């Protein structure tokens, strides 16, 4: 563990325990009017709704305490505007966000345009990245995301407006971690440990870790593929002696349509169902999908039923001929 400095300059605004406590007190009054829809829920009901989103939760007891003490917890989610939107990013995210809002949470969606540029998405062209980001927001609106409890924040705008807070935080995280620890987080960029990373991509995890504190997030609501950098944020809390650690609520990753594809990929159109796909195109993709009889594990069609169809429609009917047992 890195050595604790004897003093911290007020200009760096590292998130100490005192600042967390004062933030909670200030937000309790301001958030009360925004949580009327969740007031009828018991603490246990709120917990069950929020916990249902995560395939993994670090830590469950901390989540219960947070929901008991703070009327409107802040949930952080983020995305790189990097191309077309598939149903995992479109429908599944909408389902999860609406659950959080119904439980009284405020969701801050971090539109990571600078991060997309660092990761060389859209050729690093920030204007194109901006256009993609606006397109994705419009899809979420059309999908039915409850925007009353959602705030979209562009990373370039927010960081520029509060650079005096952001960059000292990034630098503090960077100096407290060895390079191998940071490189182990390369998965968050869709990279493996074996990929040749640019200097910008090595800096990326330090920035994403800083985002958690910069956005004053109580809950990191991201996919399982972002787990490592969220754990890094909790480790950073140990370094700065902060008791209130961000809770990690990692949602399930929808697999691709082909056998062995653990994650839906935008780069492989045959593995993904995109939000603007026509019905005929979706039908063709589903018919070609990996779906062996009597096999549940690794079956993408059954996963889509579990994580997309049932949460959205509550039921699913299999149409069969009478001689095959009829509809079920």
User: Per-residue confidence of the chain (328 residues) as pLDDT tens digits?
Assistant: 333 333 333 344 454 445 444 444 444 443 444 444 667 899 999 999 999 999 999 999 999 999 999 999 999 999 999 889 999 999 999 999 999 999 999 999 999 999 899 888 898 899 999 999 999 999 999 999 999 999 999 999 999 999 999 999 999 999 999 988 888 887 665 555 556 777 777 888 999 999 999 999 999 999 998 999 999 999 999 999 999 999 999 999 999 999 888 888 777 788 899 999 999 999 999 999 999 999 998 899 999 999 999 999 999 999 999 999 999 9
C-alpha distances in Å from residue 82, one per residue of 20, 129, 153, 250, 267:
33, 7, 16, 21, 11
Question: 1.10.3470.10, 1.10.240.10, 1.10.10.200, 1.10.260.40: which CATH number matches 257-327?
Answer: 1.10.240.10
Going from N- to C-terminal start, the domains of the chain cover 43-254, 257-327
- Say what the pLDDT of residue 1 is: 37
Q: What is the pTM of this model?
A: 0.82
Question: Is there a shared CATH topology between the 43-254 domain and the 257-327 domain?
Answer: no
CATH class of this structure's domain 43-254: alpha beta
Residue 136 CB partners (closer than 8 Å, separation 6+): 79, 81, 85, 89, 111
Looking at residue 266, its pLDDT comes to 77
C-alpha dist (Å) from residue 123 to 83, 115, 155: 11, 12, 18
């Amino acid at each position: 563990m890195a050595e604790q400095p004897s003093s911290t300059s007020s200009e760096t605004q590292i998130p100490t325990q005192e600042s967390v406590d004062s933030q909670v007190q200030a937000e309790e009054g301001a958030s009360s009017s925004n949580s009327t829809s969740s007031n009828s829920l018991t603490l246990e009901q709120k917990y069950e709704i929020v916990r249902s989103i995560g395939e993994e939760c670090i830590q469950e007891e901390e989540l219960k305490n947070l929901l008991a003490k703070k009327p409107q917890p802040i949930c952080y989610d983020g995305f790189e505007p990097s191309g077309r939107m598939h149903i995992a990013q479109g429908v599944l995210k909408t389902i999860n966000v609406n659950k959080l809002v119904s439980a009284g949470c405020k969701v801050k969606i971090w539109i990571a345009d600078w991060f997309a540029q660092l990761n060389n998405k859209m050729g690093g062209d920030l204007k194109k990245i901006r256009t993609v980001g606006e397109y994705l927001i419009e899809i979420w609106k059309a999908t039915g995301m409850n925007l009353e409890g959602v705030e979209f924040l562009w990373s370039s705008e927010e960081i520029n407006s509060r650079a005096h807070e952001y960059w000292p935080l990034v630098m503090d995280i960077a100096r407290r971690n060895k390079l191998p620890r940071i490189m182990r987080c390369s998965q968050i960029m869709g990279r493996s440990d074996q990929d040749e990373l640019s200097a910008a991509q090595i800096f990326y995890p330090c920035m994403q870790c800083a985002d958690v504190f910069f956005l004053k997030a109580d809950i990191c609501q991201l996919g399982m593929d972002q787990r490592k950098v969220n754990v890094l944020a909790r480790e950073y809390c140990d370094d700065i002696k902060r008791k209130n650690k961000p809770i990690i609520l990692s949602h399930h990753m929808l697999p691709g349509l082909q056998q062995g594809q653990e994650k839906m990929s935008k780069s492989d159109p045959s593995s993904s169902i995109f939000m603007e796909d026509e019905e005929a195109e979706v039908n063709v993709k589903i018919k070609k999908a990996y779906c062996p009889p009597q096999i549940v594990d690794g079956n993408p069609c059954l996963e889509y039923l579990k994580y997309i169809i049932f949460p959205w429609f509550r039921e699913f009917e299999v149409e069969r001929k009478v001689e095959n047992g009829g509809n079920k």
